Amino acid sequence: MIKLDQFLKLVGIAPSGGQAKLMIIDGNVKVNGTIETRRGRQLGLSDEVTVAGQTFKVGDVIE
C-alpha cells in the first residue's frame, strides 16, 4: 500500500509533496477513473492513477 501523494512523487508527476497535494485538492487526479481529492488515499496494487492523460498502474510501479 502507498498513499496517493507519495505515489505521485514516486512516478515523477509531482516534484514535491506540496505540489502533489495541490494537484489532488484541485481535482486533477483520478483513481480508477474517479476524481480523488484525498491525498492520503491508500492505493492497492490493482489501482490505476490518471493525471493529465497519463495512466499509471500502481502494481507496475511499486512491485
Does the structure show a pLDDT above 90 at 37?
A: yes
Confidence of residue 53 (pLDDT cuts 50, 70, 90): very high
- Residues 6+ positions from 20 with CB-CB distance below 8 Å: 4, 5, 6, 8, 9, 13, 14, 39
Does the structure show a pLDDT above 80 at 63?
A: no
Global pTM reads: 0.92
**pLDDT tens, position by position, 2-16:** 999 999 999 999 999
Q: What is the mean pLDDT of residues 40-54?
A: 96
CA distances 48 to 56, 61, Å, are 6, 11
Mean pLDDT of the chain: 95
